[in-house]
Amino acid sequence: MRHPIRNKRPSLRLLALAAALVLAIPFGTLATTADIPEYGVTVGFPASLDVFTKNMADDNPVLALYDTTANQVREDLSRQGLTAKAQDIAGKFFITLALTSQSGEDLGTLDEASLKEFASRYGGEVQELIPHRSGSFLLMKNEEARQITCVFLGGNLLYELRLYANGRLRSSMSSIMKDIARLTEFSLGQ
């Protein structure tokens, strides 16, 4: 007669192997990509978010989860002045993305006082300047409004990524915003 613990060992080994494989997959591989061709921008969102864009396919399975249609998503995003919206599947936050044509100076070239002034226009405080091969992102936090904003200005484009938390802001939320910024690709007419 076999011992019950021995029977579980192969299962535990397989589970450990599967966990190791999942942990070895980089963040970008697990991302949902939102292509915004009218601005030459591609944004990578983590797999923990359900992503809605104006150009999502009618048969996208996320639509059924939220009992909506691609046409309704397009109308809602247009009405809200958004390019994309992402919902945390755990319901802790949602993220909006707005892209508009606007000229301006790369935020990475601004001095500390100018960065503070820029952040105050968004009602936030400067948290971090995130270098990117196309320019710099400015990460700002507003604890009172439970909001984190990440802005890029360059190549005649204003990129505004905002996270709205349903509770207290967490450091993991800032990490998600930084990862999204780093995974954003700009063609910017190049």
Q: CB 183: neighbour CB atoms within 10 A? A: 17
Cα dist from 20 to 14, 17, 29, 149, whole Å:
10, 5, 15, 33
Task: Please tell me which residue, 188 or 57, carries the higher pLDDT value.
Answer: 57
pTM, two decimals, is 0.81
Q: Average pLDDT in the 153-167 region?
A: 94
Q: Under DSSP, is residue 2 helix (H, G, I), strand (E, B) or coil?
A: coil
- The closest of 156, 168, 66 to 104, measured between CA atoms, is 156
Query: For the chain, what is the mean pLDDT?
Result: 85
Question: With 70 as the cut, is the pLDDT of residue 9 above it?
Answer: no
Nearest one of 190, 189, 187 to 35, comparing CA atoms: 187
Q: Is the pLDDT of residue 16 over 70?
A: no
Q: Which residues contact 96 (CB under 8 A, 6 or more apart)?
A: 80, 82, 84, 85, 86, 160, 161, 162, 164
The pLDDT assigned to 104 comes to 86
User: How large is the average pLDDT for residues 99-105?
Assistant: 91
Task: Say if CB 138 and CB 119 are below 8 A apart.
Answer: yes
Q: Residue 188's pLDDT is what? A: 55
- Per-residue pLDDT, averaged over 23-52, amounts to 78
Per-residue confidence at 155, pLDDT binned at 50, 70, 90? confident
pLDDT at position 187 is 86
Domain ranges of the chain: 26-186
Give the model confidence (pLDDT) of 108-137 as tens digits: 999 999 999 999 999 999 999 999 999 999
Q: Judge contact between 185 and 174, C-beta under 8 A.
A: no
E strand spans, 20-174:
32-36, 41-45, 49-53, 84-88, 93-101, 125-132, 135-142, 147-154, 157-165
Please state which CATH class domain 26-186 belongs to.
alpha beta
CA dist., res. 125 & res. 120, Å (int): 7
Q: Is 180 helix (H, G, I), strand (E, B) or coil?
A: helix
